[in-house]
Structure 1
Amino acid sequence: MATIRKRELPSGKIVWQADYRDGGGKRRHKQFSKKGDADAFLLTARGQVRAGTHVADSASITVDKAAKLWLAQAEKNGRERATVARYKSTYELYVKPRFGATKLAALSAPAIQTFIDDLTGTMSASSLAKVHGALTSIFKHAVSRGHAAVNPARDIQMPSATRDKRRPEMPTKDELRAILKHTAARWIPFIRIAILTGMRASELRGLQWRDVAIESGVIHVRRRVDRYNEFGPPKSDAGTRDIPISDSTVAMLKAWRKECPKGEHDLVFPNGEGNIEGHANLLHRVFWPAQIAAGVTVSTGVKDEDGKPILDAKYSLHALRHAAAALFIEQGFPPKKVQSLMGHASLAMTYDVYGYLFKTEDDDRAKIAEMETALLG
């Protein structure tokens, strides 16, 4: 039987104690300074006991223990090493210092909301979403294993990401031509394929010759390589896709295959020994030098000993993916096709990033005018 009784502690403090039995029949109690809080707790606890989801405070584990169980399960489930490392980093940097020692049963939605509010404005919206996602996933795992009754992180209000959105930086056509012109001959096929297919750097690094259908002129994206040089599937189901290439690109790849270093993985863009090329090497030895040689640069704000400004490469490799999307759209591919070519998980993602590049209302008005003229003269 569940009851609430008034108690005077040895210190003289008056508390209201809620007594009840958990799902296993064990006697439990919890103290409150206000009777209304005790009533509210008991009402919730009794409902959780009936539903078989209640976890008493004394039986609850800490957030840190729950996080370790969550990370271990993610690894056991085959999540990529880089993904698990990102989860762990987010937890260690942001969640653990605030809540690591807190028991799951003691962590409330208002406490998490305050945490998110405190972080808002100190990081990008995407980084904040990762922090919230870590907390949500920790509790989701804990609830499914009986370590928590509810997920207080689930209904947290996140700030609007609208103001954080920026149009992606990408090279202009002139800059792309200049970069290609100043790229070392050995790496022109890599840069050219990146520009014309929109493939992610990880997908290009993991591309094997068996993925290139020379006769039909199609590249089959079936795998990627992570930061640890380990093979894995594309980022999502949509990442598994087929990208058409032109006859001239096919000819270029045929010529490159004869010169391509051979290795156990039969990679299209390996390093000099035929092994997986590191992402950092592609930046430091290939893409950034090509930009600097082409004059596609930005000032670092620092000057050398002669007083001349030190310049840096303007774009990351990912900018070539953005440039490819812009080229697809300019060519007239409909949004759904652009989504497919880019391997986006949803059409909404395509619109979120590249919506401003699709035809404007002025274009629509011109089409309506043409339709009207054709009909009415």
Structure 2
Amino acid sequence: MSIRKRTWKTGDGLQKEAWVVDYVDQKGKRRLKTFDRKKEADAWWKAAGFEIEKGFRTPDSQSVTIAKAAELWLETCRGHKLERSTIDAYAQHVENHIAPYLAREKLSQFTAPMVREFEDRLRNGAAAPGAAEGKPRSSAMVKKIIGSLGSLIADAQERGLIGRNVVRELSKRRKGADRRLEKRHKGKLKIGVDIPSRDEVKAIVDHLEGRWRPILLTAIFTGLRSSELRGLRWSDVDLKKCELHVRQRVDQYSVMGAPKSESGQRTVPLPPVVANTLREWKLACPKSKVDLVFPTGRGTPENHANVINRGLIPAQLAAGVTTLAHDAKGMPLKDEDGKPVIRAKYTGLHAFRHFYASWCVNSREDGGLGLSAKAAQGRLGHSTIAMTLDTYGHLFPRGDDGSELAAAEKALLG
């Protein structure tokens, strides 16, 4: 690389001069960039010199826009046969959030400060160029959008269209602090708030009926995900051994496929109440071409929303597992007669998965199974034991309550 002065005469004999930065780009091709003043050339070199020395620099003339990079990235995702729901989520990130703000930006001119500005505009709801108004995004949504932005730039980097990924570089520096902040805001899962209590589960079980009783009982006492429940086949249920095998799942488009990870394939024992209920249900279960345990009346995979709206919510309302409804400002909602609006306390099946996890790790004295962290990981299908401990570690018996401390003290001191 060099910065040199260039002089020449025009056709009219006028003396001209400029400053030229001579460098080699990331593909080994010689490039020239011209400036009117040496000060401008020096400033450009100061900003771009590191990229040039490391072979990262992509000339603006050779760079693609973020819109084009996004298009190529989505093609890559389809080529890798990612799940349809995943690709659709990525496409929505691009169409609704990334493209309105950054579509025309060139990758070679995209910087860390621009990433931060983009984050702020999303979080604050600043209007995109050409739009009349904007809408604030939640912190969780901003995180997902930035993740997709980093992935599309990574794809462009692999294609040789850009040398650096400023989003990933920025994320690495902030990762630890962001994780700690996220944990502080999110807090630990709480019994009676995120996890149904034993009394609540008992009340719900007592009010389960009809075609929803088998699937919701299975959800409570096996911890299967919604997609795993809806993809469960009779060939994977061994009622003699009282266990089921998770081997496939049904996505939101009713397409059956393998679990998301290898650890998702697992064997889960069935307590008597579930095994007996499934024996009865097998006699009344609608016929299904793929032998589903919980199909619709037409034999097709059950819809997740139906399980929630027709099964989970009515069971909670009947059992009195409810809470007061609030508006966006946190004020209690009232009906036309001025009475408080009551709604089901738990809005998703994942609450039962949380309960099952707590049931697995609670001590036998407290009515739990007393399983180790490793055994609980296997039952839940977590990819790592760290995931199990990070999510449910605080629910394990502490082993340092008053009686145990007294016994230990007596053993030590006499």
> For this structure pair, what is the TM-score category when the shorter chain's length is used for normalisation?
0.7 to 0.9
Shift of 1:79: 0.7
Where does residue 79 of structure 1 map in the other structure?
82
- Mapped to 2, the partners of 1:368 and 1:174 lie a distance apart of 29
Within-5 A mapping of 1:79-118: 79-117=82-120
Do the aligned residues in 2 keep the contact of 1:298 with 1:311 (CA within 8 Å)?
A: yes
Counterpart residue identity of residue 161, structure 1: E
Where does residue 3 of structure 2 map in the other structure?
3
Task: Provide Cα deviations, 1:268-315, integer angstroms capped at 9, x if missing partner.
Answer: 111112211111111111111111122212222333333322221111
Q: Does 1:163 align with 2:201?
A: no
| Higher deviation after alignment, 311-320 or 349-358 | 349-358
Equivalent position to 2:242, from 198, 211, 217: 217
Task: Provide Cα deviations, 1:110-161, integer angstroms capped at 9, x if missing partner.
Answer: 3213333555686554433312211211111111111111111112225321
Equivalent position to 1:29, from 33, 36, 40: 33
Q: Does 1:254 align with 2:279?
A: yes
- Mapped to 1, the partners of 2:102 and 2:143 lie a distance apart of 17
| Amino-acid identity (%) | 38
Provide closer, same or farther for how the CA distance between residues 42 and 321 of structure 1 changes in structure 2, counting only shifts above 3 A: closer
Equivalent position to 1:194, from 206, 219, 230: 219
Where does residue 11 of structure 1 map in the other structure?
none
Where does residue 133 of structure 2 map in the other structure?
none
Do the aligned residues in 2 keep the contact of 1:5 with 1:18 (CA within 8 Å)?
A: no
Shift of 1:375: 6.3
Provide closer, same or farther for how the CA distance between residues 207 and 167 of structure 1 changes in structure 2, counting only shifts above 3 A: same
- Mapped to 2, the partners of 1:340 and 1:125 lie a distance apart of 31
Counterpart residue identity of residue 392, structure 2: Y
| Higher deviation after alignment, 60-69 or 40-49 | 40-49
| Higher deviation after alignment, 341-350 or 315-324 | 341-350
Where does residue 345 of structure 2 map in the other structure?
314
- Mapped to 2, the partners of 1:322 and 1:351 lie a distance apart of 13
Do the aligned residues in 2 keep the contact of 1:125 with 1:164 (CA within 8 Å)?
A: no
Counterpart residue identity of residue 215, structure 2: F
| Higher deviation after alignment, 94-103 or 109-118 | 109-118
Do the aligned residues in 2 keep the contact of 1:194 with 1:321 (CA within 8 Å)?
A: yes
Where does residue 45 of structure 2 map in the other structure?
39
Shift of 1:2: 4.0
Where does residue 275 of structure 1 map in the other structure?
300
SS in 1 for 2:22: strand
SS in 2 for 1:252: helix
Provide closer, same or farther for how the CA distance between residues 16 and 302 of structure 1 changes in structure 2, counting only shifts above 3 A: farther
Where does residue 328 of structure 2 map in the other structure?
none
Q: Does 1:357 align with 2:398?
A: no
Q: Does 1:329 align with 2:329?
A: no
- Mapped to 2, the partners of 1:338 and 1:180 lie a distance apart of 23
Where does residue 145 of structure 2 map in the other structure?
131
Equivalent position to 1:146, from 160, 170, 189: 160
Do the aligned residues in 1 keep the contact of 2:18 with 2:34 (CA within 8 Å)?
A: no
SS in 1 for 2:323: strand
Do the aligned residues in 1 keep the contact of 2:20 with 2:33 (CA within 8 Å)?
A: yes
| Higher deviation after alignment, 123-132 or 73-82 | 123-132
Provide closer, same or farther for how the CA distance between residues 15 and 41 of structure 1 changes in structure 2, counting only shifts above 3 A: farther
- Unaligned residue ranges in structure 1 (runs of 5+): 8-13
Shift of 1:80: 0.6
- Mapped to 1, the partners of 2:378 and 2:4 lie a distance apart of 60
Counterpart residue identity of residue 339, structure 1: Q
| Higher deviation after alignment, 352-361 or 135-144 | 352-361
SS in 2 for 1:261: coil
| Higher deviation after alignment, 249-258 or 191-200 | 249-258
- Mapped to 1, the partners of 2:21 and 2:242 lie a distance apart of 72
* TM-score, L = length of structure 1: 0.88
Task: Provide Cα deviations, 1:172-226, integer angstroms capped at 9, x if missing partner.
Answer: 1121122222222322111111011111111101111111122322211111111
Where does residue 333 of structure 2 map in the other structure?
302
Where does residue 19 of structure 1 map in the other structure?
22
Provide closer, same or farther for how the CA distance between residues 235 and 366 of structure 1 changes in structure 2, counting only shifts above 3 A: farther
- Mapped to 1, the partners of 2:277 and 2:361 lie a distance apart of 24
Do the aligned residues in 2 keep the contact of 1:63 with 1:99 (CA within 8 Å)?
A: yes
Within-5 A mapping of 1:216-235: 216-235=241-260
Counterpart residue identity of residue 310, structure 1: V
- Mapped to 2, the partners of 1:129 and 1:64 lie a distance apart of 19
Where does residue 10 of structure 1 map in the other structure?
none
Q: How many matched pairs? A: 368
Task: Provide Cα deviations, 1:20-68, integer angstroms capped at 9, x if missing partner.
Answer: 344353544265963443333563354344xxx5422111111111111
Shift of 1:362: 2.9
- Unaligned residue ranges in structure 2 (runs of 5+): 8-16, 125-135, 326-331, 363-367
SS in 2 for 1:274: coil
- Mapped to 1, the partners of 2:378 and 2:223 lie a distance apart of 11
Do the aligned residues in 2 keep the contact of 1:6 with 1:16 (CA within 8 Å)?
A: yes
Shift of 1:86: 1.2
- How large is the Cα RMSD of the aligned pairs? 2.7
* TM-score, L = length of structure 2: 0.80
Counterpart residue identity of residue 154, structure 1: R
